[in-house]
Structure formats: structure tokens, C-alpha cells
Amino acid sequence: MRFLFACLLALFASTHFASAQVIPVVFGAQGASGNVEPTLTFLWPGSTPKATLIYIPGGEGRLGLTPERKNLGGFYGATLKPLSDGNISSGSFNVVIFDSPVPLPVGSNYPVSRTSAEHLARIESVVRYYKSNYGVPVWLMGHSNGAVSLTEVYAMLQRENKTDLIAGAIYSSARNGARFDNKTQLSILFLAHEKDACAKSTNYNSRKVFEEQRSTNTQRLRYVLIRGGEGQAQDVCSSGFHMFYGAGQEAYQAIETFVFGP
């Protein structure tokens, strides 16, 4: 019954994107034998959408969205929501937040949970859903552990000759080890905070990945260091500079400028 309800809601949502809302995306990967529950996504529709930005969270990747949610705060409200609002920015992005239905363990060296076939297939199904319903280019953004999801799903698309599904990527405060290979041909914006103290997401690592791509990737590339904001008396890998706290405007303007130009 829950799955049927989600399917009906998804059908309704496909023709009704007037306001911020939670939209379930039906999931049924070919040969899937595990969890086939829909993937919940949160949508801020753009004022004048020219692209869709799909954001993959860090941490364990599970926000626990529920159908009645109408807004998201914190990093999401400060850094991502403005990209959809024509009163704050150009409003040219539909902003979508991807919510994993299960926790994705962070791992000690590398979050292998984000390499699973189910997780990557869910990301692809969300990309296809929003690409089909809006008909505008899709950009993927992975933050912290989410950057592992970003690079892993792109590697999958490369193997399956599906790279045309996405127009570009935002590689943000990336987890060490998340990297694109030397066959990557994709526009990529690298975002990092100059004061990020998270040992699992160092600027040294992201700069190294950027330099690797500069030697082989002929598409648009840019490395942006966020300089504003402030720290917080919490885990440095889940707050403060790592999450662009107080520097949301600096981050979303960098994204908008890279994708659409000055």
C-alpha cells in the first residue's frame, strides 16, 4: 500500500511542481532484489529553470524526509535554496535534494557503501526522472561523502556509455579518495573552504584531483576556495567551515557563475 501510494504521488508530482515539496521517485532497477522503496527527494522548483541541480548529501546520506516537509534549513536553506529563488539569485536552478532510504556508513578510509549498485542506480533514476520532467540539463553536486557518490555514479555512467545524462558536476568539500579518472570529459566546479579542518576532506586532496583533471579533461574546470563564514563548536567534518556555515552566499554565487556565467 505504501509503495502504491508513493507511485500515485510521483505521478501527480510529475505534472505539479508549483511549490517546494517532497517527491518520491519510483525505484525498480532491473534485477533488483533488495530495497525497492521509492527514493524520496526534496524539490525547490526554480523561478525560471534553465538547469536542475541534484544534491547528494554527505554524512550517512539519509535525511529521513517525510511527505509533509515543505522546507529545509541549515546548509540546504542557506546554500542551495537561494539558487531556485529569483528574488535572491537568477532563480535558474531547480534544486533537488537526494535522500537515501537507508544509512550509508561513512567507513574509516573510504565509504564503500556509496559504491553499491543499488545506491548508484537510485541516483541514476532520480537524474532520469528530473531530466524527463523538466527537460533541462542536470548537474550533480556531491558534498563531503556525497562527492564519493558523485564520482562513483559518473564512473558507472562511463562504463555504461550514459555520461550524456548529466551536464556537469559540483565537487564540494570532497571526501579524500573521491576522484574522477583520466577519461573524464565533464565540466566540474571544485568547491572547498580555505579553513576546512576536516582531516577526511582536505583541500590538498581536492586540489590534487583538480590538477589531475586539468591535465586530461578539456571541459570547463574551476577551483574555488570559499573564504567567508565561521567555525562552530561541533564536529569539524559536519559543521562550520566544512559546511560553508555563514558563507552560503559565497558558495551559491560560485555555483551560479560557473554554470551560467557572470
User: What pLDDT digit, counting tens, does each position of 68-102 carry?
Assistant: 999 999 999 999 999 999 999 999 999 999 999 99
pLDDT of residue 171: 98
**156-163 — which CB contacts under 8 Å span 24+ positions?**
156/120, 156/124, 157/124, 158/183, 158/184, 162/124
Beta carbons of 223 and 190 less than 8 angstroms apart? yes
Provide the CATH number for the domain around residue 172. Answer: 3.40.50.1820
- Residue-wise pLDDT for 20-30, tens only, equals 999 999 987 54
Rg (CA), the chain: 17
Distance separating alpha carbons of residues 180 and 143, to the nearest angstrom: 15
Q: Which pLDDT band, with edges at 50, 70 and 90, does 63 fall under?
A: very high
- Residue-wise pLDDT for 186-237, tens only, equals 999 999 999 999 999 999 999 999 999 999 999 999 999 999 999 999 999 9
Distance separating alpha carbons of residues 176 and 92, to the nearest angstrom: 31
Residue 5 has pLDDT above 90, yes or no: no
Least confident of 8-17, 77-86, 151-160, 248-257: 8-17
pLDDT of residue 27: 87
pLDDT of residue 36: 82
The better pLDDT of the pair 32, 155 is held by 155
The β-bridge relationship of strands 21-25 and 39-44 is antiparallel
Residue 43 has pLDDT above 80, yes or no: yes
All three cell numbers of 151: 564520482
Task: List Cβ neighbours of 145 (8 Å cut-off, separation of 6 or more).
Answer: 57, 58, 59, 60, 61, 104, 106, 111, 114, 175
pLDDT of residue 29: 58
Residue 9 has pLDDT above 60, yes or no: no
Domain count for the chain: 1
Where in the sequence is the domain holding 55, given as residue range(s)? 2-260
pTM, entire model: 0.91
Percent of the chain with pLDDT over 70: 90
Per DSSP, helices labelled H in the chain are 2-13, 74-75, 117-134, 146-159, 203-216, 248-260
